Amino acid sequence: MRGGLYLLPVIDLTGKIGEKSDLDCSILSAQDTSVVGEVIDDFHYRRAQIHQDFHTTQKDSDKLLARLFVSGVSLTPHYSPTSRATVDFNIILDSTTVVTESEKLIESGFLQGKFFDRRHICNGCGASQFNVREECAVCRSSNLVEDFYLHHFSCAYLGREADFREGEDLICPKCRKELLHFGSDYDKPGTLLICNACGHASSEVEIGFLCLNCKMDTDSESVRTGDIHSYDLTKRASSYLRAGYAFLDFTQHNPLFADLPFTLIVELNKATRFWKEDNTIFCLVNINYEHAHEIEIEHGPRQMLQTRRQFIENLHGVLCRAYEGIKKEDFIIGKYEDYMVLHGISKEDILQDRKEMINLAVSSIRLDIGPFFKVLGPEELI
């Protein structure tokens, strides 16, 4: 998937691409032409939501995530006898790369997998195209023939039927008596597999996996297995695609930010970009509430949430009077904590005035929610 082609729909005019296309025009009637426009519009709409970091990325994993986002469908496997992996996916990318990258993305929390099938994998070349066959346990040849073995009751001799056969008669090789009646003179307790290559005979054989790609022969105990999944984007992946690489800077480099609201990630991404490009200072204010648990027990979670929101509204007014350029969008309501991303304001400014800000913001609030600030500058965030 070169350039930005992975962000565009694959429209098949010939009907030869199959499930790798987003639309097969060869099966459309003259009345279905509007479908093409709808597919293109859907891709355009979703592509506009992806951060510019992913429009020209060179990483296969990021291309895969972006492709899933703009296509709006799951990454789905289907059986393909021509594929080295025996499966293909609904994407213009070889299945080996898809599986390798997707399994890494599951580990990093960007994809979730659903079991499709289990396959055997060649220990030599990694392909899954095999001739699965019965083989001689001694020489690994598949040149085997099946023969009955006979049990002569009177002398207890046990051997191959071919050893008893003399023309049309069955003569015991041990006692030379003729075997006339099945069930009273002898029986056939089982079969033998005889190797025509080395002569070894056994009632049990090995199952061998002969790779059709590199010709490596592996027994059933040694051959590797691997699971094939269908894949879907996680919420973490959607946030990453919308916010850009800064999402990883915040969430990977500092555990504090692993579960930040998406809107906050976007604001931090924007502030970080301005700081790097224009040296525009900013700070993140993390607002916690010391008495939240007690108030929720006594007055209920709804009352606590309403009080938090009133505090944030009051705090917005306090900051607007103290600084220019404060916007509603700078305040983000979290699940248990709230946040401010303040552009053009330093960490030191907030630390100097925070007690007065908090006192002014709580002065008209009935319940004592105990707000306190943790303030971080750019150097602590990146």
Residue with the two structure tokens 């009907």:
15
Q: What is the pLDDT of residues 147-195, one digit of tens each?
A: 888 999 999 998 888 889 999 899 999 999 999 998 889 998 888 888 9
Task: Say how many residues make up the chain.
Answer: 382
- In the three-class reduction of DSSP (H, G, I as helix; E, B as strand; rest coil), residue 319 is classed as helix
The pLDDT of residue 249 is: 63
Domain with CATH 3.30.70.270 in the chain: 245-381
- Of the pLDDT bands very low, low, confident and very high (cuts 50, 70, 90), residue 45 is very high
Enumerate the β-bridge partners of residue 341. Answer: 284
Q: What is the pLDDT of residues 211-248, one digit of tens each?
A: 999 999 999 888 999 999 999 999 889 988 988 876 77
Q: Are strands 77-79 and 331-333 parallel, antiparallel or unpaired?
A: unpaired
C-alpha span between 294 and 105 (Å, rounded) = 41
> Distance of CA 177 to CAs 133, 160, 169, 185, 315, Å?
39, 16, 11, 10, 109
- Of the pLDDT bands very low, low, confident and very high (cuts 50, 70, 90), residue 358 is very high
Enumerate the β-bridge partners of residue 289. Answer: 371
The pLDDT of residue 349 is: 94
Tell me which CATH code domain 245-381 carries. Answer: 3.30.70.270
Q: What is the DSSP letter of 257?
A: G
Q: What is the pLDDT of residues 290-314, one digit of tens each?
A: 999 899 888 888 899 999 999 999 9
The pLDDT of residue 251 is: 59
Q: pTM for the complete prediction?
A: 0.61
Q: What is the pLDDT of residues 101-144, one digit of tens each?
A: 999 999 888 999 999 999 999 999 999 999 999 999 899 999 99
DSSP string, 350-377: HHHHHHHHHHHHHTT-SS---EEEEEE-
